[in-house]
Homo-oligomer: A and B are copies of this chain.
Amino acid sequence: MTEYRIPDITDIKEAGERIKGYIHNTPLLSSQTLNSITGADVVFKCENFQRAGAFKFRGACNAVFSLKESILKNGVATHSSGNHAAALSLAAKIKGIKAYVVMPENAPEIKKKAVAGYGAEITFCKPTLEARETTLQKVVKNTGATVIHPYNNFNVICGQGTAALEIQDVVTPDIVMAPVGGGGLISGTALAVKNMSAKTLVYGAEPSGADDAFKSFYGNVFVPSVNPDTIADGLLTSLGEINYTIIKRYVDEIFTASDDTIIKAMRLIWERMKIIVEPSSAVPLAVMLEHPEKFRKKKVTVIITGGNADLDNLPF
């Protein structure tokens, strides 16, 4: 592993100041029905209402806004078919610079449209990780753009941690829980929470079909994701190295939930809270349904990660 600095609370607070006015301070919602189902006192931090539809905009904004003008002018680049691509494109648009996005040619039309809608220049490639990386290298060589990794990046982690700052301004929960994919959100959240309220527990929630963080955490060795398979398409990515280091140090527990429970939890949120969340966002509630004893009578804050669900292809 390479050397890197772990962000501290000052870095996250600086990120908060840097992106203030560009991001939404998203609402905290609760539901009496979900409280009675879980036996807990649950508050949802609704990043599905964040700009570009997901928490990813926080990290992308902070990473873009942190670049020096001389570097910024060449634009930013990433390969992604998901929320990070849209978030980075919007952050670049705000700064008036180019975003270059490498997308697999089979990415859903709705995601292609979203990224193009923010003015990004899209390069399509074959749907393999190798093709994505090779194509991205070519794009960077031709443009001089700076690659912004979706989670294994200091400034992205600081940006994602700002959601937890907003929570702590309002409530001090017993537990804060967020989904784990690449680990950008959970690592930023854990850093922020533990530095503000040491007694608040930080839990990660992972689909059992993509449980590389769970295995890495409890196996004490970094296990890359192999053939992940879950309805929670935002959580298919492999845990990042910096993220793993932070998780090991600051996260208290990681739980998994089955896809069946994730789908059930997603539908509960849609029906009872009247908000649209993508499958990944339902994983923490699914964990609460599968492990009720861990949450009963606790004040739990769950980060709802995004609302970019495909309405033509619902899992229920």
Contacts and interface: CB of A to CB of B under 8 A. Distances in A.
Interface of A: 27, 29, 32, 48-49, 51, 53, 267, 270-271, 273-277, 307, 311-312, 314, 316
A307 B29 CA distance: 15
A270 B311 contact: yes
Number of copies: 2
Which 6 A-B pairs rank lowest in CB-CB distance, beginning with the nearest? A274-B307, A274-B276, A48-B274, A275-B275, A270-B276, A49-B274
Query: Majority SS of interface residues in chain A?
Result: mixed
Contacts of A276: 270, 274-276
A90 to B, nearest CB: 10
Contact of A267 (B32, B51, B271, B311): B311
Contacts of A274: 48-49, 53, 275-277, 307
Contacts of A277: 274
A271 B311 contact: yes
Nearest to A274: B307
Q: Which of A29, A32, A274, A312 has the most CB of B within 10 A?
A: A274
Contacts of A311: 267, 270-271, 314, 316
Contacts of A27: 27
A267 B29 CA distance: 22
A49 B269 CA distance: 12
A274 B267 CA distance: 14
A276 B48 CA distance: 12
